[in-house]
């Protein structure tokens, strides 16, 4: 292997679905993110459905931020404008740094798929405790947009010119 080649490193990922109505039987967005992460060679080490409540979301996300096994957190749901959508309000205070480009790029890609309706997406991302956290809308289509257009590459340690792996706590190093 040359000095410029980087080996693939599987990440330990937590998948959270924020919803008042989803169950393990109908959580297609969480199923999609889980299957895609595994297919890409990553490990899904935690999966949960959390009702859309700021304090419950913060508690679960905080536990994953503190868990030394978790390196990335994928959150689907709660990013819209209804009175129950509170993922950005719950998660943003936990960030050490915000990743503005995620929401910007997600909405750019999404615009090509759903037009101006993308302005109603409050997709956000950030870093906390050397872990990356991505919050995307709850539809399976939005999760596909985020995974295929951004997350698949940015969670891949071999992706060039850059990816998030060097910024994530990798306890095996």
pLDDT tens for each residue of 118-140:
899 999 999 999 999 999 999 99
CATH architecture of 12-166: 3-Layer(aba) Sandwich (3.40)
Cα separation, 30 vs 105, in Å, equals: 21
pLDDT tens for each residue of 11-67:
999 999 999 999 999 999 999 999 999 999 999 999 999 999 999 999 999 999 999
Banded model confidence at residue 5, pLDDT cuts 50, 70, 90 = confident
Cα separation, 133 vs 71, in Å, equals: 9
Instruction: Reply yes or no on whether the pLDDT at 4 is more than 70.
Output: no
pLDDT at 170: 63
| Average pLDDT estimate for 141-169 | 94
**pTM for this prediction:** 0.94
pLDDT at 132: 98
Banded model confidence at residue 3, pLDDT cuts 50, 70, 90 = very low
Q: Taking the C-alpha atoms of 81, 87, 89 and 93 in order, what is their torsion angle to the nearest 10 degrees?
A: -160
Instruction: Reply yes or no on whether the pLDDT at 169 is more than 80.
Output: no
Biggest CA pair distance of the chain: 53
pLDDT at 133: 98
When the pLDDT of each residue in the chain is averaged and rounded to a whole number, the result is 93
pLDDT tens for each residue of 72-112:
999 999 898 888 899 999 999 999 999 999 999 999 999 99
DSSP-derived secondary structure for 114-171: HGGGGGG---EEEEETTEEEEEE-SSHHHHHHHIIIIIHHHT-TT-SS--SGGGS--T
pLDDT at 82: 87
Cα separation, 83 vs 102, in Å, equals: 24
């Amino acid at each position: 292997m040359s000095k410029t080649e980087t080996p693939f490193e599987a990440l330990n990922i937590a998948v959270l679905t924020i919803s008042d109505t989803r169950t393990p039987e109908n959580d297609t967005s969480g199923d999609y993110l889980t299957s895609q992460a595994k297919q890409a060679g990553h490990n899904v080490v935690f999966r949960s459905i959390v009702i859309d409540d700021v304090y419950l979301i913060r508690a679960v996300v905080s536990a994953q931020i503190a868990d030394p096994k978790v390196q990335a957190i994928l959150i689907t749901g709660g990013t819209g404008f209804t009175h129950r959508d509170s993922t950005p309000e719950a998660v943003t205070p936990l960030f050490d740094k915000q990743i503005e480009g995620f929401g910007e790029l997600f909405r750019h890609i999404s615009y090509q798929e759903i037009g101006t309706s993308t302005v109603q997406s409050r997709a956000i991302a950030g870093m906390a405790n050397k872990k990356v956290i991505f919050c995307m809308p709850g539809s399976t289509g939005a999760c596909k947009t985020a995974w295929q257009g951004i997350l698949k590459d940015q969670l891949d340690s071999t992706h060039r010119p850059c990816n998030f792996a060097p910024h994530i706590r990798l306890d095996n190093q």
